[in-house]
Structure 1
């Protein structure tokens, strides 16, 4: 049996995905065969494997960090939030229904745990090490009985647990101690220690606190990772990081020159796969910003309507905020618009969801910018298409319930183009370097910009650089000898129990 580790966190967004990816890259550079694993993920950012299965984008990124092919084994349960407090349950890469949080936690966990453990064992049989990522916090005691991703997984699989805390949020020592104290004795016996993430300043200032934490808990701190901008990994949710460090959540970019291309992305509700624009943000001279007001897109050279898990809901949101009228006006003026997946669907003439697969609203008229009629069906399209556009080869992936009937326009990546408006179901197409440059040149020409894409920007190479930076973080700032002993030998013996309320 291979060795393993569970990377948990004091909170969501504490840095579990980054640390898991960093450990994978550190290990594979040492010649260790390693694979990532997340039993249950909740995210609208997903990916299609070569098996035709849907998994979280974060696990696909971690597989790249480990230099292995992404597999459905790495993320057997994926929850995709939708409207009405429901989430689509994706089991072994394919949707099996929609459930509320109460319904999900109400009775299938034993069956799901069996599936999860089978996947983990398959990965263990094929690799020297499996690095597992938890979800949220292991101290969510209201969900402990049905937990299959944090301490429930660790106990079932005998995994040591490393808890990551984001010190940039403040209160990291209390979070470490409180996380441990809320666990029962059996779970505490698996929690081996802590890892501080996103520290700014002189690390020696932490020494008294780390020493006190060890005295109170009997657990070591395995490292202090410094804060770093622009790590550029695929997040589960959030709009912050790009490969060149652009702060994408802000729409308050300063004045830019004529040689800079400005791209506005509509921040639609239930946005999915916003990582589609990472490749654009990686280009020198491109400013990417997310917007939710019509005036914020006024000076944009390109507006992107991204994917969404609620196409009709996103359409209504665009209408309420005046963005729908602004998009129609842009198209009439011949200014570039790109719709991707759900964004493509709502740019069409009509959306038929009579079976209420997604919208719960039946049918709706789209913005009418493309000659496309969309019908939602229960079977989800999961594909890895390859084709050509603008004279360049393009690779992408598709994840959608909507079937598009394209009734005119110029063919474009299985979608269409009419004038300055493009639409496609293909996610990830902009990661194809030649196509991205050709597309940006077309946008710049239409917008009248003197913008020339950099001829040597390689998105894949930039992603590799970022993954190496994650590996460097672990190698340079974690106690890798102690970390390897933990991975190799399992939870330390005789870890003290810390009762709630202590000291």
Structure 2
């Protein structure tokens, strides 16, 4: 099997996006290609067709490769729950909660056979594997238990491309420092360097690139200019860069405030809003930042109870209630939906078993947190007769305390969520990717503000995503030495 691996000098340097680009480039060039990341730590999940949970990045990369995502593409997903503990997802299903020490000292070696099985299954189906590393391969305190970087390169005999983010500053130091901290065998695997997120004149980099190539003996395969392609991010670090998509100093006709919970998950639910005309999206975590938005969204969270207590401690809970009394629109998704109800009963742990928390009371529901996570892709029809699709993964069950208008009637006849003209609650992730619903929802707000409605003729989410992948192919292919990439792939066989 041909394999190539993208590793980075740090998190959020662009590894995921570059892997996505390579998946689309290779499939467009006639290869059957699959993504792979042995171990992922993220709160942005992707639900496969069979209900498995993997990192969002591998789901996106599979889409770019024009294949269905499977749990083999990300056999281990770690979802931080706080206090140095993560929920371990193995082959798409919850395995256990583990602290960092127990995971690294006891679990990593035990799980390697499962990782190898995933690799063998992918090897049997695809021509090329595009592997993504995690963080940096040069974390010397973690290297002996690191199964996401060089160990996977050795397992697959993959050539490694090292990526650095020039926006951070110190790009040459980060590249040289990373290479210096690798041992000889690891360093020999690094066959190319990519400088990412470049802004400015490439000519000004030439002398630095010449020095870097001479000093390291490794070829720079590309300088990729910053490109605001609409590819979903995985790491919450990317939230800080959303200001690059829409200026925070620009005035928008419609102001949307998304509560940035400490354990926010699947913030990519809001990516489609960045392309909605005259809509500004802000992630807020304090009273000062909240201001007076037209819409307040409570997103998904990995820890509903702790994040609701945080909402109270910050004073945001009371302010959300005040805004609701003034008629502002409120939307809750997954954990945020649960917070909009009257109460949450936590029956997950012995210490807190049966403890009831009074919540915002904006929707007539009660939630009990018990049992296993529910993970599945879903389809249905909303209150207005529009088709809705997306995925759910949540803990617990929400029950109405009085007759309600459900948000969605699912294909199997079950009901999801609650709809009122002012408040919407739902377990559906990907709600705004249903573009007709999104356009109509914001057109209603436009009418209420005496603004002109925007045409309902819109690009579907599938068309938008396909366009983004093709634009990414064009952009990266233009600035990356693909002849060298194919040469490295041939050598990896």
Structure 1 length as normaliser, TM-score? Answer: 0.91
After superposition, the C-alpha distances for 1:193-237 in whole angstroms (9 at most, x for unaligned) are 211111222223222222222222221111111122354433322
Q: CA deviation at 1:63?
A: 1.0
**Residues 422-471 of structure 1 deviation map (CA, whole Å, 9 limit, x = unaligned):** 10011012211222223223444556654435522433222222222221
Asked if the contact 2:193/2:221 (under 8 Å) is kept, the reply is yes
Q: Indicate conservation of the 8 Å contact 2:108/2:147, yes or no.
A: yes
2:11 is the alignment partner of 1:15: no
- Find the partner of 1:287 among 280, 293, 303: 280
Q: What SS is found at the alignment partner of 1:141? A: coil
Distance 1:202 1:358, change over 3 A: farther
Q: Does 1:364 align with 2:357?
A: yes
| Counterpart residue number, 1:95 | 94
Inter-CA distance 357–230: structure 2 relative to 1 (3 Å threshold): farther
Select 2:303's aligned residue among 310, 324, 329. Answer: 310
> Is contact 1:243-1:281 (8 Å) kept?
no
Q: CA RMSD in A?
A: 2.2
**Structure 2 CA distance, aligned partners of 1:323 and 1:359?**
24
Distance 2:362 2:117 in 1: 48
Q: Which has the higher contact order (CA 8 A, sep 6+)?
A: 1
1:378 match: secondary structure? coil
Residue from 335, 338, 349 that aligns with 1:342:
335
**Equivalence for 1:466:** 468
Greater Cα shift, 165-174 or 228-237: 228-237
Superposition TM-score, scaled by structure 2 size: 0.93
Find out whether 1:277 has 2:262 as its counterpart. Answer: no
- Are the equivalent residues in 2 in contact too, given 1:420–1:446 (CA < 8 A)? no
Does the 8 A contact of 2:273 with 2:279 survive in 1? yes
Does structure 1 retain, via aligned residues, the 8 Å contact 2:85–2:100?
Answer: yes
Question: In the TM superposition, what are the counterparts of 1:105-120 in structure 2 within 5 Å?
Answer: 105-120=104-119
- Which stretch of the first structure deviates more once superposed, 350-359 or 428-437? 350-359
CA distance in 2, matches of 1:304, 1:358: 31
| Distance in 2 between residues matched to 1:445 and 1:116, nearest whole Å | 53
* Equivalent-residue separation in structure 1 for 2:349 and 2:472 (angstroms): 43
Structure 1 window deviating more from structure 2 (405-414 vs 158-167): it is 405-414
The Cα offsets for residues 20-60 of structure 1, whole Å up to 9 and x where unpaired, read as 01111111111111111111111100011101100111111
Q: What secondary structure sits across from 1:384 in the alignment?
A: strand
Compute the displacement of 1:306 (Å).
0.4
My pick for the range that moved more, 276-285 or 230-239, is 230-239
Please tell me whether the aligned partners of residues 337 and 425 of structure 2 are also in contact (alpha carbons under 8 angstroms): yes
What secondary structure does 1:367 align onto? coil
The answer for the alignment partner of 1:205 in structure 2 is 204
Higher deviation after alignment, 456-465 or 313-322: 456-465
| TM-fit CA distance, 1:161 | 0.8
- Is residue 404 from structure 1 mapped to residue 406 from structure 2 by the alignment? no
Which residue number in structure 2 is paired with residue 494 of structure 1?
Answer: none
Please name the residue that 1:501 is paired with: none
Indicate yes or no: 2:479 matched with 1:490.
no
1:323 aligns with 2:319: no
Work out the CA distance in 1 between the residues paired with 2:244 and 2:169.
26
Shift of 1:261: 2.1
Quote the Cα distance in structure 2 between the aligned partners of 1:357 and 1:415. Answer: 29
- Structure 2 counterparts to residues 63-74 of structure 1, below 5 A: 63-74=62-73
Contact 1:36 1:62 in 2 (8 A): yes
Question: Is the contact between residue 440 and residue 456 of structure 2 (CA under 8 Å) also seen in structure 1?
Answer: no
**Aligned counterparts of 1:223 and 1:58: Cα–Cα separation in 2:** 22
Offset of residue 270 of structure 1? 0.5
Q: Structure 2: which 5+ residue stretches go unaligned?
A: 409-415
SS in structure 2 at match of 1:461: helix
Number of residue pairs aligned between Structure 1 and Structure 2 = 483
After superposition, the Cα gap between the structure-2 partners of 1:232 and 1:158, relative to the gap in structure 1 and judged at 3 Å, is closer
What is the rounded CA distance, in whole Å, between the counterparts of 1:153 and 1:241 in structure 2? Answer: 30
Contact 2:58 2:74 in 1 (8 A): yes
Structure 1 unaligned segments of length 5 or more: list them: 492-503
Which residue does the alignment assign to 1:139?
Answer: 138
Q: Aligned residue for 1:495?
A: none
Q: Structure 2 CA distance, aligned partners of 1:347 and 1:358?
A: 24
**Aligned ranges for residues 24-63 of structure 1 at < 5 Å?**
24-63=23-62
Between 181-190 and 223-232, the greater mean CA deviation after superposition = 223-232
* CA–CA separation in structure 1 for the residues paired with 2:449 and 2:82: 36
